[in-house]
Amino acid sequence: MAKLKDLALRPERLSAGHRLCPGCGVPGIARLAVRSTEDYLVVGSATGCLEVSTTIYPYSAWKCSFIHNAFENVAATVSGVEAAYLALKRRGKVKENFKFICFGGDGGTYDIGLQSLSGAMERGHNMVYICYDNEAYQNTGNQRSSSTPRGSNTTTTPVGKLSSGKTGRRKDLTAIMAAHHIPYVAQATADNWKDLSRKFEKALEVEGPAFINVLAPCVPGWKYEEKETINMSRLAAKTCFWPSFEVDNGVWKLNFKPKEKLPIEDFLKPQGRFRHLFRPENQHVIAELQQEVDENWEEILKRCGEK
């Protein structure tokens, strides 16, 4: 794994001057990802916060080859570029080594782009797909996605007399990707840069497809203070709302186990999207969400051989 000093000295591939929100969790994730290899790089991004904020015509914040895709097809496009690269390399027309990265939010990954993502993983393309999961369609105004947690107040699951927010469990996309039996799958939080950097480097080194799901706190959607982004990630890890683990060639490994597992309320309280849950009539939703977190944590502990 590259040391912090070495990472800092590598050329910047996502420049300053992009238009992502102050305090956004996404740019730090993207900057670290594209610094994680010294090879030539092709980046594809599904329509979403990262794309619309970094490629406003006629400007671009990307200092590497970049392809803007529709919401649904970034994995298909980049898998085609990877296949073309291999063909050109076999013919001796390309000498350099290239790596391929896809970025997509939860809307373009969990939902709209799931079909093309699944196909690219199953076909075995040598590429890394990184999902920056901010738990709603934040680019278009905070509509719910299948990643939105129970009880969240969104524009399509508004809180009112007959609603306490989004109902039902969020989709476990990381486990779905692991079920594709690809070489490397991981889940991570932005507060632990060493763990995140190691996972990016590992994903880029494996032969074949890799998938990394990173929680990306969103200031306007989650409704918290800009300075608290890293703390939001840390609370997600310490409450086990967002466990950090990896699946390396089918072997599950836990990367972070809190010394003291905090209650889910500690993650919910700083966020305006969950403010309504602390009213007496909605307390049952917190209990349901805590039960979901506990069940998921126990399942991951078993899979990782921790129980």
Residue 2 has pLDDT above 80, yes or no: no
Domain residue limits, the chain: 4-303
Superfamily of domain 4-303: Thiamin diphosphate (ThDP)-binding fold, Pyr/PP domains (3.40.50.970)
* Residue 11: per-residue pLDDT: 87
Token digits of residue 84 = 């073309």
Question: What is the reported pTM?
Answer: 0.97
Q: 61 pLDDT band (50/70/90 cuts)?
A: very high
* Residue 297: per-residue pLDDT: 98
| Sheet (strand 210-215) strand order | 65-69, 40-46, 98-105, 128-133, 210-215, 184-189, 245-248, 251-254
pLDDT tens, residue by residue, 199-242? 999 999 999 999 999 999 999 999 999 999 999 999 999 999 99
Q: 1 pLDDT band (50/70/90 cuts)?
A: confident
Strand 245-248 to strand 184-189: parallel, antiparallel, or no bridges (unpaired)?
antiparallel
* Residue 8: per-residue pLDDT: 79
pLDDT tens, residue by residue, 124-171? 999 999 999 999 999 999 999 999 999 999 999 999 999 999 999 999
* Residue 24: per-residue pLDDT: 96
**Average pLDDT score over residue span 20-36:** 95
Cβ density class 57-93: b for 16+ within 10 Å, e for less: eeeebbeeebbbbebbbbbbbbbebbeebeeeeeeee
Q: What is the mean pLDDT of the chain?
A: 96
* Residue 7: per-residue pLDDT: 80
* Residue 101: per-residue pLDDT: 98
